Amino acid sequence: MTTPLTGKIALVAGATRGAGRQIAVQLGAAGATVYVTGRTTREHRSELDRPETIEETAELVTAAGGTGIAVPVDHLEPDQVRRLVERIDAEQGRLDVLVNDIWGADPLITWEKPVWEQPLDAGFRTLRLAVDTHIITSHFALPLLIRNAGGLVVEIGDGTKEYNDSTYRLSVFYDLAKVSVNRLAFTQAHELAPHGGTAVALTPGWLRSEAMLEHFGVTEANWRDGAAKDPHFVMSETPAFVGRAVVALAADPDRARWTGRSVDSGGLAQVYGFTDLDGTRPHWSRYHDEVVAAGKPADDTGYR
């Protein structure tokens, strides 16, 4: 069955670009109606000042076979989120999948500086974007999601719980942000259980987002040339890979086996059998443990 999510309603909060955009697109390819939110539209850019827009994301969802609906929302503004959920309720009467992917704090991070050398305003803004946005969105969206049993919440972060628990993430604020996202999935799993819902924390591997491709001076067509800047870039993955991981979870009638857990796209691919766009299954976490952390030279043989 190529469209297992036909008739399902999804909200991807933070779908302007990167993982959020392709999560929305892959949900659409599986047949879902997807509400895509963000702050950058064709008329207005967020402080990130990037060209990608939520309208483009919605069009990509529709082109993939679903129905994409773009709604400008600042998820730090409770009234905007409340109105968004009221609209979904009025138009669809249900919500089956909530993906909390809001972030947008990369320019605010001060890397490899101790807390006493961190700028507090930027640090607290980071936490608001990473944590407050997710809580505000869940606060308003979950009453609609639990109206029908079987709802799914996916918290998108960076690093599994196992990795983040044992790894210093090079900034106190970034560290707290990413640990918090994993914990939010754990707490929501407990709160959703009586209503037949599932909550999962999901992390991609090394993501070839639009910004990452620009950073490496490559395009998706010649991305392997980025290995000249960092040899381990050979293990990077497209944002579609984590999008397909979300689809696999949403389409799995036994998805509750994952509830409260922290998982990665490469690990789920080994279970569900989905691939990246090039037909491979990059397993970044295993590669990181066995190659990067071990100080071995870059070589993706056997990890795709």
Query: Residue 227 and residue 295: Cα distance in Å, rounded?
Result: 16
Which residues, 6+ apart, have CB-to-CB distance to 211 below 8 Å?
17, 18, 50, 106
Catalytic pick among 35, 163, 174, 303: 174
Torsion angle in degrees (nearest 10) through CA of 50, 51, 57, 63: -150
Residues 6+ apart with CB under 8 A from 202: 154, 155, 156, 157, 242, 245, 246, 249, 262, 263, 264, 265, 268
Distance CA 287, CA 237 (A): 13
Q: Is 163 a catalytic residue?
A: no
Across 251-269, b (16+ Cβ under 10 Å) vs e yields bbeebbebbbbbbbbbbbb
CA distances (Å), 36 to each of 6, 69, 153, 256, 268, in order?
Answer: 17, 6, 15, 25, 24
| Spatial strand order in the sheet of 152-156 | 67-72, 33-38, 9-13, 97-100, 152-156, 198-203, 262-264
Cα(192)–Cα(189) distance, integer angstroms: 5
Say how far apart CA 195 and CA 88 lie, in whole Å: 20
Provide the 3-class DSSP secondary structure of residue 46: coil
Cα-trace Rg, the chain: 18
Dist CA 299 CA 53 (whole Å): 35
Query: What distance in Å separates the CA atoms of residue 130 and residue 107, rounded to the nearest whole number?
Result: 13
Residues catalogued as catalytic: 174
